[in-house]
Amino acid sequence: MTGGHGSPATSTLPDNAYKSLAAGETYQPIVPAASSMPETTWRSILWGLLLCVIFTVASAYSGLKVGQVMEAAIPISILAIGLARVYARRSTLLENVIMTSIGGTSGAVVAGAIFTLPALYSMQLHPHPVQTIFICLAGGCLGVLFLIPLRRYFVREKHGEFPYPEATAITEVLVTGEKGGSQAKLLLQATALAGVYDFFVTTFQVWKEYIDLQFIPVVRTLAEKAKVATSFDAVAFILGLGYVMGLRSSMILVAGGVLSNFVLVPLIWMVGQHLPGMAVAPGAVPIAEMTANQIFRGYVRFIGVGAIATAGIFGIIKSLRIVAGSFSIAIKAFRAGTRATEERTDRDIPVMAILVGVIVAALAVAVFFGSLKPSMTVLLLGTALTLAFAFFFASVAANAIATVARNPVSGMTMLTIIFSSIVLLRFGLEGQTGMFFVMAIAGMVCTALSVSGQTITDLKTGYWLGSTPAAQQRVKFLGVAAAAVAAGLAIVMLAQTYQFGEAASGDLRPVLAAPQASIMKALVEGFMSREPVAYLLFGSGAMIAVMMEMLGVPALVFALGMYLPLELNLPALVGGVLAHYLGKRADAAGESRGRIMRERGVIIASGFMAGGALGGVLGASLRLFPWFAEDLIKTPFFDYDPVSQVVSAVMFTGVCAYLWWDATRKVE
């Protein structure tokens, strides 16, 4: 069954890898549970840590500048394939999984850091570098610890029920790299195409990335007079993401966006135009003077936050039985001393180690809060809120990543800030200490959420390929530590050179927008000055999530569609439509031919995701250099929308045509 170094008997994913299992059917990964293969070696750990630090620094700058953190796991999986050939003993499939798991932590920790910590600097609270690093480290460790009990539910029990778009892309990269031959060539072609395409369109001014068609008079009139407006992010990465998600999930995602952009935004504007000169909280200017995008961000996104939170609660309730069962099984195994007889591919870190880890993390968080010199009640409340939000939102993050590969981090962080502020204000915590305290809670929860989502991706990849979950979980803490130090120090250094958010009077330093942190800052300052809270908007979102559950629609996917900008969801729908009709074509082609077509379609879509991520990371790294400017490469027609947007649409259509043609053409 196995060869040298315990090599796998096959390098092809089983037919039931992406399908729900029939009664009595089991999934057998590429590397069998009985196989002995190098996994957590010095090679995989050191390369993973090095790549983690590099991608953390690049992503921190990119996220602070444009609000987008590039997911590093996909490009790192490609780099792992290349590095495997450097050594006399080629790296094993499981070593590549470990390298990807460690390195991929970078994007998760950075997302948690840049969404919150820059607000501390823009509020002139001047956190110490050790405080910055600790917030990232504590949140990341809690994210891993609280996710481990959920592994069996999301990874094993629900096999085939979640699409796991990002994990699918990583798995296909690693598998095709292991195979070599025509499939590796197909993956590399798709990766190169998407990488070049997304790199140029998101980094330079070649043609418009977003298509809004407002150069057409009737479309512009709708946007101006009725506030019915959206755009389309014409990039290959989201197209590949939608293909892997499938038609149903992508349609539900877009349906949420349709409700937000084409129903709620015009409705709020219609009411608001009868209130001239009056600003309605949480908006800062009169609704009648707002654009469609301002109404979406000022009001509708809060409805989306309420829907996400409520959908998350439903998800937590549904998974409680499995979580309790996981703890029960682990405790029984610990008492009986039978851990050594567990199947390797279903072995988690012991439950006692998890409990000790949570206790140590809780004590460290309490000591951190104690250094701010609050009352004992506030200290205990702050620690409890951090642990509670990190635990309950871990399920939300895992569900979102498993379904649409997008983590509602900012929405859940906003909810954390709102709830924590309301509670702590009642116990007299306010002013600068209150702002620091609440932002520290938000920073830890945000990082925990982000790391939880990325960890479930790693564990699903490992499940498909045959990794040891406990090994992946242990090295995840190494990745969190490396990324926390790198992200914390990167933010500290950038804070010396740049201003975050808005330019302060008399400060001549350049500005990094830090858009998410600016929102969090506004929320915290608003609460600490006791401004009104938009309870009605949150409650409306909660009722929408309840309705979705009553209709049997995945509430979290719909809520994510409400919260995320529609221009990011529409390309995913195009990918879902392509997947649907290519599936129909494959059904008509017969079993053997159809299987090849489906496999090629997934590989190409995975290549689009991988290439798009690589192109984005390369573009982000260029922004580190002072000589970089977006107009270094600029076409003569870029600023002329009728031509620039039409060219963008044609190029995006060409990418879609390539996917269809290369997946359906006859190959040996």
Residues in CB range of 123: below 8 A, 6 or more apart: 432, 435, 439, 521, 524, 525
Say if residue 604's pLDDT is above 70: yes
pLDDT band at 6 (very low <50, low <70, confident <90, very high): very low
- The span from the CA of 457 to the CA of 461, in Å, is 6
pLDDT band at 264 (very low <50, low <70, confident <90, very high): very high
Torsion 530-302-108-208 (CA) sign = negative
Q: What is the predicted pLDDT for the residue at 362?
A: 95
Torsion 56-232-270-218 (CA) sign = positive
Q: What is the predicted pLDDT for the residue at 227?
A: 83
Collapse the DSSP code of 84 into the 3-class scheme (helix H, G, I; strand E, B; otherwise coil) and give the result: helix
Average pLDDT, integer, range 235-239: 88
Backbone angles phi, psi at 648, to 5 degrees: -60, -45
Residues in CB range of 450: below 8 A, 6 or more apart: 108, 109, 111, 112, 143, 397, 407, 409
pLDDT in tens, 349-398: 988 899 999 999 999 999 999 988 888 998 999 999 999 999 888 888 88
pLDDT band at 486 (very low <50, low <70, confident <90, very high): very high
pTM: predicted TM-score of the whole model, two decimal places: 0.74
- Which burial class, exposed, middle or buried, applies to 258 when counting CB atoms under 10 A from its CB (0-12, 13-18, 19+)? middle
Residues in CB range of 460: below 8 A, 6 or more apart: 154, 155, 164, 167, 402
pLDDT in tens, 72-81: 787 788 778 8
Residues in CB range of 459: below 8 A, 6 or more apart: 147, 151, 154, 155, 469, 472, 473
pLDDT band at 341 (very low <50, low <70, confident <90, very high): very low
Residues in CB range of 516: below 8 A, 6 or more apart: 67, 114, 115, 116, 410, 413
- The span from the CA of 132 to the CA of 113, in Å, is 8
Q: Which pair of tokens denotes residue 501?
A: 């958010």
Say if residue 639's pLDDT is above 80: yes
pLDDT band at 331 (very low <50, low <70, confident <90, very high): low
Q: What is the predicted pLDDT for the residue at 179?
A: 62
Helix, strand, coil shares of the chain, percent, nearest 5, are 75, 0, 25
